[in-house]
Amino acid sequence: MIPRYARPEMTDIWSAQTKYRIWFEIEAHAATRMAELGVIPEQAAKTVWEKGSQAAFDSDRIDEIEREVKHDVIAFLTHLSEIVGPEARYVHQGMTSSDILDTCLSVQLARASDLLLAGMDRVLASLKLRAMEHKNTICVGRSHAIHAEPTTFGLKLATFYAEFERGKRRLEAARAEIAVCAISGAVGTFANVDPSVEAYVADKMGLAVEPVSTQIIPRDRHAAFFAALGIIASSIERLAVEVRHLQRSEVLEAEEYFSKGQKGSSAMPHKRNPILTENLTGLARLVRMCVIPAMENVALWHERDISHSSVERGIAPDATIHLDFALHRLAGVIENLVVYPDRMKENLDKLGGLIFSQRVLLALTQAGVSREDSYSWVQRNAMPAWRGEGRFIDNLKADKDVTSRIEPSQLDKLFDLDHHTRHVDVIFSRVFG
């Protein structure tokens, strides 16, 4: 993570102070329940809360201890004992380090999910607003980047809205799956800690209990979480690539907002580059690169090894921080996107009416011509128009085979933009309700 692509709301979740505060709360809640069970003195649990709640944990001191003991949780517990005093000996009874580490990671990922879901909501709101604005703004649809048939810019945006809605549902499901607590001891058998401690801590930390853990929470949960983030990143990139294409000088149907005083190139003063969407394309790669390592973390040895640990210390903050930033940047791009309807109309006719070729093909088949002959007749009139040799409609009207089956006046009616947009309302009702 680098600050350039981070929002403080998300980076705070991954700060050392936040981590140590969560570690403390897990330990303190566990102590409270253990006191209720009579495992430790009630006063000890109260002292842990009273002294620990007021403390600002010293990251430098914890790092200093860790350099000696070579264990981060032990270093934290040692520092906690310096704050709490003798009663700290009752902390961590029957627990293992992963009980703290994994439960903390679950809390952090759940909190990160909430911020990501808020970012998704902003993207969805901006897409809906602009889709409604351009519901009937005619533009050309492209396949293989080549003009295909007419559509509307609103429909383009509606496809992205539906995609991000699916992404949001996946993230909600991934959040629910990752938000689990495991305080079950060294190999998950609760040998030295009562299962009610796990349930108590889970409730206090806003988590569910892991039904069956080893020493750790199973990593298929984490793999599903990062996969959901990767798909959202790909959706961001798809929309970013669309904007980048539409901003090309030869197309210029839409472009990123270019603010007063903004400069596009150190060498060429005329440049207005799609830098935000190019940046989003790169950020999507950074998020997606976290998915495969998360998948590889699933197959750990027996009840646990720590090969996943170094991976998650990197991918958890990186993926969530980058995706959070990307979502808000994307929302800004959509909200401020400059759209050029006149240019869209101009581009519609770039190929001299070839976008209506399918309508002519279908009309010929309905007039009794075989599909093979219909295709051949249409194509032999389309290719000259493609090369700029006459307009498609004029070529068709000069073809006796075509006009023997379709009157010239009927041919004109086939070149109708409204025919291609007559079901926009139906599609919008499916997407937006």
Q: Which residues are within 8 A (CB) of 234 and not within 5 positions of it... i.e. 6 or more apart?
A: 284, 288
Distance between CA 181 and CA 401 in Å, rounded?
74
Of the candidates 332, 1, 330, the residue with the CA atom closest to the CA atom of residue 167: 330
Residue ranges with strand state E in 198-241: 208-209
The yes-or-no answer on residue 106 being catalytic is no
Pairing of strands 146-152, 138-143: antiparallel
Helix axes 16-36, 195-204, angle to 10 degrees: 130
**Residue 144 among the catalytic residues:** yes
DSSP-assigned states of every residue in 59-74: HHHHHHHHHHH--HHH
Nearest Cα to 151, choosing from 142, 161, 138?
138
| Structure tokens that stand for 395 in this block | 């070529």
- Residue 140 is inside which H or E element, if any? strand 138-143
- Biggest CA–CA distance in the chain, Å, is 102
The single residue of 144, 259, 409, 429 carrying the catalytic annotation is 144
Report how far Cα 322 is from the mean position of its chain's Cα atoms.
Answer: 10
Q: How far apart are CA 140 and CA 132, in angstroms?
A: 18
Residues 6+ apart with CB under 8 A from 172: 117
Is residue 169 within 8 Å of 227, Cβ to Cβ? no
Residues 135, 207: contact at Cβ < 8 Å?
no
* Exposure on the CB side of residue 171, measured as CA atoms within 13 A: 28
CA distance 366 to 128: 39
From the candidates 53, 265, 307, 404, give the one annotated as an active-site residue: 265
- Known catalytic residues? 144, 265
